[in-house]
Amino acid sequence: MNIIVLVKSVPDPAVKVTVKNNQIVEDGLAWEPNPYDENSTEEAIRLKEKFGGKVTLITLGPKRAEETLKKQLALGADEGILVSDPAFDGSDELAVARILAAAIEKQGPYDLIFAGLTGVDWNQGVVGPAVAEALAIPHVAYVVGVEVNGQTARVTTEVDGGREIQEVDLPAVLTSMQNLNVPRYASLKNIMAVKRKQIPVWGAADLGIDPGQVGPNTVQTQLKSLVPPPERAAGRIIPGAPDEAVKELVRALQEEAKVI
């Protein structure tokens, strides 16, 4: 199987992002793969281990995205491609999806494409389905289980009130959730091997993309403001012995908060 994983580089999800002047403060920020992309990479490697084939990671971003890509490669993926061009800067997500779709077509035949459910940066969750639309193939979002049988797959998704099973013709795009699997750690051997790996960089010309069709002029939204969330007013610690404190808590919930 030829499996593609789309990897987005996002601010380290373990660190609290701060905002200033309608922008996030990027100084000292570490960039990591979007957490769902780790689940995607893990699932792709497991499928390769079972069926043979190749796992190719693709990321679109600035040069620094190469580091993120290498971190994921070290889990045991075969190839990484950095899609990067100043002309791509400022593209909206639909343009990003079209560029990624062009890169997927250029790299050759494919059976399955994984994307993350949503970016923990901008929480849009648009690129996976939009890549599928650009390639005119099916997609399934919210994926927690994948079973491949030849040219089809049985895919389990998490929905309100339970799970759904979808029958899917391949190739298709699947978007991964956190509980799809538990990603492995990179082995030291892989980490060392990846360091020396040459990552090809594909730009607009390589992909046959007209720079006028991507970049800032594709954007149909305007950011009006980006501010910190409202702080919650500090509450109070109810002092006293446990039984006293509990009595006071229940009184407060009934009489002050009126929630029980």
Partner 1 sequence: MANGVLVIADLRGSTPKRVTFETIGAARSVAQALGGPVQVALVGGPGVAAAAGPLGETGVDEIIVAESPDLAQYSAESYTDAIQQLTDANSPAVVLLSATPHGRDVAPRVAARLGIAYAADVTRIDVLDGQVVVTRPVYSGNAIASVALDSQPSIVTVRPGAYPVAPRQAGTSAGKQTTFSVNIEYAPGAKVVEFQEVKSERPDLSEASVVVSGGRGMGSAENFAMIEELADLLGAAVGASRAVVDAGWRPWGEQVGQTGKTVNPNLYIACGISGAIQHLVGMRTSKYIVAINKDPEAPIFKVADYGIVGDVFTVLPLLTEEVKKVKSQ
Ligand X SMILES: Nc1ncnc2c1ncn2[C@@H]1O[C@H](COP(=O)(O)O)[C@@H](O)[C@H]1O
Should residue 205 be labelled a site residue for partner 1 when binding is judged by CB under 8 A?
Answer: no
| Cα separations in angstroms, 112 against 41, 66, 172 | 12, 23, 5
Q: Where are the alpha helices (DSSP H) in 110-173?
A: 127-135
- 6 binds partner 1, rule: CB under 8 A: no
The correct pick among 62, 164, 192, 197 for binding partner 1 (CB under 8 A) is 164
Q: Is 116 in the site for ligand X (CB under 6 A)?
A: yes
Return phi, psi of residue 101, to 5°: -60, -40
User: Of 81, 127, 134, 155, which lies in the binding site for ligand X, with binding defined by CB under 6 A?
Assistant: 127
Contact positions with ligand X (CB under 6 A) in 216-245: none
Number of residues that bind partner 1 (CB under 8 A): 83
The interface region with partner 1, picked from 1-9, 73-81, 183-191, 230-238 by CB under 8 A, is 230-238
| Nearest Cα residue to 119 out of 220, 244, 31, 18 | 31
- CA angle in degrees (0–180, nearest 5) for 101-176-209: 10
Among residues 1, 31, 35, 203, the one that binds partner 1 under rule CB under 8 A: 35
Please report whether residue 215 would count as binding ligand X according to CB under 6 A. Answer: no
188 or 223: CB nearest partner 1: 223
What is the distance between the alpha carbons of residues 110 and 99, in angstroms, rounded to a whole number?
Answer: 16
Question: Does 60 interact with ligand X (rule: CB under 6 A)?
Answer: yes
Residue 246: CB atoms within 10 A of its CB come to: 12
Q: From residue 146, give the alpha-carbon distance in Å to each of 133, 168, 236.
A: 21, 10, 47
Report, in Å, the least distance between residue 32 CB and ligand FAD.
Answer: 8
For position 75 contacting ligand X by CB under 6 A, the verdict is: no
Single residue of 26, 27, 160, 210 touching partner 1 by CB under 8 A: 160
Q: Which tokens go with 54? A: 């190749």
Q: Which of 3, 36, 98, 143 is in the footprint of ligand X by CB under 6 A?
A: 36
Q: Which of 199, 174, 205 minimizes the C-alpha distance to 57? A: 199
With contacts defined by CB under 8 A, name the span among 61-69, 131-139, 183-191, 209-217 that binds partner 1. Answer: 131-139
